[in-house]
Structure formats: C-alpha cells, structure tokens
Structure 1
C-alpha cells in the first residue's frame, strides 16, 4: 500500500519547516504576509493559513495580531514540580491583582458561597518576548496576603489535578498559541489545618514547553511491605 499524497498545506508546512530548521529562516524573522506567501506557493489564502497553523501548533512560528507571523525563538522546556516551574531563571513575570466575586467553578473549588469576595492574582510568565505560562490564583479576601500569595506555614494539604486539553480561546490568545496545541491544565487547591480552602490556583502550561513531575516519598514501613 502506497502512502497518500501529502496535502498542499502539509507540503507548504514541510517546506517552511525545513527553512526554519536549517537556519534559512531565523528566529525573530517576520514571514512574508499571508497573501504574498499564498501567491508564492500558488494556493489560496485559507490553504496557506492552514499550513501556518500546523507550524504554529508545533511551536515553530507565532502569529502576533496586527504584526504578522514570526519565527519563534526556541522555547526552553521547563518542569512543573512542587508548585513551581524550574528552572525559572530565563523567565520574567507580570502580575495583575483584581478584586472579584466567587462564581461558577470557583464556588465548589474554594468551598465558599456565591459572590464571596476574592482576590485574583493573574501571573503571566514570559521567555524573552514570548508568553510562556498563565496562572490565576484565587484567595478569599479575608485571607489575602498584603502582597502576593505564597505557601504559608499553616497550610496542611495541597491537591493538584492535571488535565491535558485544548486551550480556551482566551488562553490561546493570551499565550499566543494555536487553538490546536494541547496544554497542561493544573488545578491546585490548598487547605489549612482546619480543612478550609485558603487558595485555588488555575495554571495553563502549553504542551510544547512544559513537563509535569510528581515525586512520591515512601516511608520505611511502606518499603518493608512491598513485594
């Protein structure tokens, strides 16, 4: 059985991919406009955009609204472990604080009544000019720290749920990624010694630049009963 003939979008994507990986197209360089590229490859603009979407999903190019398509600088793959991204020396963070009310999924997540006053901390990390990860942290206002939330000595338990999914349109736009690129969505809920939820964090990590590492420590008694 012979392999199927590649589609035009795959042929165009393969040509551009080769130019990027061989250095003919360099990181930070702006591609020709989509109409000019469509003319160059003798295809329709929608076909050309489909080809670019493949490369965007691979993390090779990014589309900046109003500016065009650019070759991406190689993004460093970081590891999420213990509530942190490591190593984080190449990242810088912008933070926005907003007063909000508990609604939707935040109500069962934080175990609070509807419209409970919350403080939202929005973290957007960048590597160079490229957005790298997004986090929204919610804290009841009567517990909100003076500056930024951080792990407190009274915290007794943190639960993390990791889901692989496609990004919401707002997430894709903020992180400048394709809507077809899978993300790691991490929901982290921390409680104090009384069982009260003191923080809920919603993290979105694009799959082309993040790993999640979980470590289990076994006690001596557990190791002795294995086997």
Structure 2
C-alpha cells in the first residue's frame, strides 16, 4: 500500500505540473492542506519534503511553501547540462586517510593532492567533486585544472603525466543514493534531507594500478546518471574463456 504522504505528494505534484499552482506561487498553509487531504500536519510535511527533494517546492521560514521552477538537470558522466557551469577548483596537499588509502592501494598517511571542484550556476552550487591523486603517481607535481565539473581535465593531465595517453587510463564508477554529509549539504546549499547521488570513481592505469579516485556528489533534484553499455547479453571473448 502506498504511504499516505506519498499519495498527498503525488496529487500536489499533479496540480503543480498542471499549472494549478504556478511557479513562484505560495501554496496554501500547511494546516489547510492537511485538512484538505484529511491527514495530520506531520504527514503533510513529509509530503512537502518529497516535493522539496524533487526541486518543485521550497520552504521559506515565516513565509510558507512556494512552487519552484525545476532545476536544469545535470547528466553524469556525459556532461549534459554542464555548459553553463562555472567551476572553481582548489588544490590541497594532505595525507591519505585509512579509507582513501584502501581505495588507492597505498598506506595511511601517504601524501596526496586533493583537488576540489565546486560547480555553480547563477542559482547556486550544482555539483561537488573531490579528485585524489597520490604523490607516488604524480610525483607531487600539480596537474592542470580547467572547467570540468567532474575533474576530467585533471585526469587527462594525469594520463599525460603517466605517459600512457588517455587510452591507457580506465575507470570504474559506483553510484549510491544517500543523504548528504553536513559538509556536502553546506557546500551545495541543500538541506540534510535532500537525497544526493554519490559517485565513487576508481581510476586505473593500463597496468592495473589505481592512480586516482574521485568522489562526485550531485543533488538528487537536479541530476541523473547515464551510462552507455554494450549489447544486452553480449559476452566478450575473454569472458567466454573465463567461464570455461
């Protein structure tokens, strides 16, 4: 059975999409909406929270809930929707935590360079990416930075530094839906209850070494992940050999 707050959210979404409530318009007071749907005020607030997470509603303290214009969606990793982004990149020299060391195949306290890419549009922050490169790979030299929201230009520079060329570097992406950490919510100016897409990207050289790892965080109300794969059911020669 569908939860009651989801039923309310579905109907309010329908009204917003149909234009019953226009962009910029204030919704009726929460107590009035709760009475209309015959639900408690906490249930009504849960429904509004669903719409806030989708970017359809924003709440302003002391003013109420207002209908928002849906944010332009970003598509990872192909970059759709990133043309209008301004990317601010900073670099920090630090040592690897135990977690980073495990991802990078090194030891805790190994020196690394962390590149932080914060992407903005006129209406605020859109994406946050952390690129971690061990000094053992880069030689401690700074890598070129540019306008990529995901740090791809840094990885391109890393491929050149490895003298492998871009074809000699591959990556594996793991995507998780979760709530943001406090630092992520502050950087992206979202609430702690706004779901995010967290992407952990492991970057490997052609000899199998892990040469970098990337953490990308995208607010769920303005992002999607799209991957291109081979034909469904296709099996490579190597996979066939492994199954014999």
- TM-score in terms of structure 1 length: 0.69
Secondary structure of 1:179's counterpart equals coil
Moved more, 101-110 or 11-20: 11-20
Secondary structure of 2:70's counterpart equals coil
* Higher fraction of strand: 1
* Partner of residue 55 from structure 2, selected from 42, 55, 59: 59
Deviations 1:58-101 (A, max 9, x none): 332245789975533323334324xx523521323233333322
1:124 is aligned to 118
Deviations 1:112-134 (A, max 9, x none): 22112222222232344143322
Distance in 2 of aligned mates of 1:112 and 1:68: 51
> Residue 46 and residue 94 in structure 1: after superposition, are their counterparts in 2 closer, same or farther (change >3 A)?
farther
Cα RMSD (Å) = 3.8
2:150 is aligned to none
Unaligned runs of 5+ in 1: none
> Residue 98 and residue 54 in structure 1: after superposition, are their counterparts in 2 closer, same or farther (change >3 A)?
same
Residue 75 of structure 1 pairs with residue 87 of structure 2:
no
Unaligned runs of 5+ in 2: 146-153
Distance in 2 of aligned mates of 1:157 and 1:137: 15
1:169 is aligned to 181
* Partner of residue 211 from structure 1, selected from 210, 221, 225: 225
* Higher fraction of helix: 2
> Residue 97 and residue 67 in structure 1: after superposition, are their counterparts in 2 closer, same or farther (change >3 A)?
farther
Question: How many residues are aligned here?
Answer: 209
- TM-score in terms of structure 2 length: 0.65
